[in-house]
Structure 1
Amino acid sequence: MRKSNLYWSITDGWTMSQRSLKHIFREPESLLMAIGLPVAIMVMFVYIFGGAIQTGTDYVNYVVPGVIITCAGFGSSLIAISVTQDMVGGLFERLRSMPLLPSSLMIGHVTGGFIRNVIATTVIFLVALLIGFQPNAGFLDWLGVIGLLSLFMLSLNWLFVAIGLIMKSVETANAATFPMLFLPYISSAFVPTETMPVWLQAFADNQPMTPLIETLRGLLIGTPIDNNGWLTIFWFGSLLIISFIISGAIFKRRKKE
C-alpha cells in the first residue's frame, strides 16, 4: 500500500532530526555557547550588579526568567546559521536527488534546535538553583512554565528557519538574528521597566518579551501575572503560525529556483 505524504514527512523529518542531534554532540561548541553565555550573564548580574538593583525580591529570583529567555533565544538563533549553511553548502540540492522530502530539512533543524534548547535551559535552571534561586511553583505552575517555554522556543525556531532560508551567507544570517537576541535586554528581564526613561519604558512594556518574562516570573516565584499570560500566548502563538507559513512559502520558492 502506498504511504501517505504525512507518513513520509514524519519519517524523513525524524531522519533529519537525528542528523541535527548528531551535530549537537559531535560539534558541541554550539551547545557550550548556548549554555556558557547565559550562565556568564546570570552570574555577572547576580554577583556584580544584583546588590545595586532593587526589585522587591532576591535579585537571583528576579533575573532567572530573563536569563532563561536569553538562553533559549541564543540557542534558537543558531538554527538560522545552520539552515543557511545547508542551503549554500549544497545539501539542499543533494536532497533533491535522494528519496527524502526536502522539507524534512526544516523539520530536522527545528527539532534539533528544540532539544538543544531543552538541554541548555535545564542546565541554566540547575546553575540558578546552585547560586540561590528559590522557586515556589506548584505542579500546574511548572506545567505552565514548560508549555510557555516550548511555545517560545518553537516560534523562534521557525522564525530563524525563515531567516536562514532567506540569507545568502552564514555571516548575514548571523547578523540578522541580532535584533531578536537584543530584545530581552530592553524588557523587564534584568531591571524593572519603571526604572527606564519614559520613552524606553513604553517600548519595553509593549514588546513581546516582557509579558513572557513576567508570566514566567509569576509562575516561578508568585509575582502578579495579570493579563501577561494571554499576551504571551497571543504574541508567540501568532509568531509560530506566521513563521511556519512564511518558512513553507520561502522553501517552496527556493525549490523552484
Structure 2
Amino acid sequence: MTTLTRAARDSGTMLGRQLRHMLRYPSMTLMLVGMPIILLLLFVYVFGGAMGAGPGTMGAGPGTASGSRTEYLHYVIPGIVLMTVASAAQGTAISVAMDMTEGIVARFRTMDIARVSVLTGHVVGALIQSMLSVALVLLVAVLIGFRPTATLGEWLAAAGLLLLVSFALTWLSVALGLVADTVETASNTPMGLMLLPFLSSGFVPTDTLPVVLRWFAEYQPFTPIIETLRGLLLGTEIGGNGVLAVAWCAGISLAAYLWAKRLYNRDPAR
C-alpha cells in the first residue's frame, strides 16, 4: 500500500468518525446553523424595513420594490451565508480542541495511522457540515422571498467560492483549536470570524460607514468575497472582487495549513 493510499484510507476513517459525532451530537450542528438563520430573520423582519429604505443603496433583487424588506433580503444574503460558513468553522475549532485536551490525539499518535489523517478528517467533515448549513440557510431565504437570478454556471461558481472560503476558514479554525489551551478558549477565539462580516459590505454599503471603518471594510477579505457572491447570485457588478476573493482564500488556506501542521507536529499529547 502506497503512502498516499494509506493516508486516504486513514483520512476516510477519521472523516467517518467526524460524521458519527455530528449524528450523535446534533445540538452543536443545530446551534451553528441556527444562529445565522436567526440573524437572517432578525435583520430582514426587524431592521429590513428601515435598512431597505435607503435611496437606491441596497441593490434590489429581481422584481422588488425600492425600500422593501425583500430588497434588503437580497442585499443581506451573501453576508449571512458567509456568517454561516464562519459559524461552522467555529465548531471545528471546538472539536479540535476537544480532541487535543481529552487525550484521544495521544492515542492516535501511538497507532499506525497517517498523521495527516486526523486533521484531514476534521477539515473534510467541517466542509460537509458547512455546505449543508449553507444549503439550509438558502432554503430558508427562498421561503421568505429570496429570488436569485444566477444561471447554472453562476451557481456552480458560487458553490466553488463557498468551498474555497470554507476550506480557508476551516484550516484557520483547526489552527486556532490546536493553539487553544482549553475548549472554552477555542470556542471564543474564532468569534472574530463571525464579527468580520458586520464590518464589511455584508449588511450596509461600505460608503455609508465612517472613514476609518470604510477603509477597513473595503480592504478586509470578507468584502470582496461577499461582493463576488452577490454578483454571482444577483447579477450585480463583480469587477476585480472575484480575483481578490480567490487570492484571499488561497493565502489564508496556505498560511493556516502551514500553521496548523506546525502546531500539530510539535504539540505533545496533552
8 Å CA contact 1:187, 1:204 repeated in 2: yes
Give 1:161-176 correspondences, 5 Å limit: 161-176=174-189
User: Distance between the aligned counterparts of 2:121 and 2:268, measured in 1?
Assistant: 17
Map of 1:69-88 to 2, 5 A cutoff? 69-88=82-101
Cα distance in 2, alignment partners of residues 4 and 32 from structure 1: 39
For the pair 1:67 / 2:67, whether they are aligned, the reply is no
Candidates 33, 39, 42, aligned match of 1:41: 39
Looking at structure 2, the residues matched to 85 and 130 of structure 1 have their Cα atoms a distance apart, in angstroms, of 36
Residues 27 and 160 from structure 1, CA distance in 2 versus in 1: closer, same or farther, beyond 3 angstroms? same
1:147 aligns with 2:145: no
1:142-196 deviations in Å (ceiling 9; x for gaps):
1110110000000111111111111111111112111222101101111111111
Can you list the C-alpha shifts for 1:12-53, whole angstroms capped at 9, x where unaligned?
Answer: 111000000011111001110122111110011111111111
Q: 1:25 aligns with which of 13, 18, 23?
A: 23
Question: Where does the alignment leave 5 or more consecutive residues of structure 1 unmatched?
Answer: none
**Is the 8 Å Cα contact of residues 103 and 251 (structure 1) preserved in structure 2?**
no
* Percentage of pairs with the same residue: 40
Q: Spell out structure 1 runs of 4+ moving beyond 3 A.
A: none
Matched to 1:221, the amino acid is L
The residue number in structure 2 matching 1:56 is 59
TM-score (structure 1 length as normaliser): 0.96
Alignment of 1:186-225 (within 5 A): 186-225=199-238
Structure 1 position 97, deviation (Å): 2.4
One-letter code of the match for 1:167?
A: A
2:132 equivalent in structure 1? 119
Q: What is the distance in 1 between the residues matched to 2:44 and 2:233?
A: 18
RMSD over aligned Cα atoms:
1.3
Give the aligned residue type for 1:12.
Answer: D
Residue 103 of structure 1 deviates from its aligned partner by 2.6
Shift of 1:255: 5.0
Distance 2:153 2:184 in 1: 42
Question: What is the letter of the counterpart of residue 215 of structure 1?
Answer: T
Shift of 1:122: 0.5
SS in 1 for 2:220: coil
What is the aligned residue count? 255
Q: What is the one-letter code of the residue matched to 1:206?
A: Y
> TM-score w.r.t. structure 2 length?
0.92
Gaps of 5+ in 2: 61-70
Per the alignment, residue 228 of structure 1 pairs with 241
In 2, the alpha carbon distance for the partners of 1:49 and 1:181 equals 19
For residues 194 and 243 of structure 1, the distance between their equivalents in structure 2, rounded to whole angstroms, comes to 31
* Deviation at residue 213 of structure 1 after TM alignment: 0.3
Residue 134 (str. 1) matches residue 147 (str. 2):
yes
Structure 1 residue aligned with 2:68: none
Q: Which residue of 2 is the match for residue 254 of structure 1?
A: 267
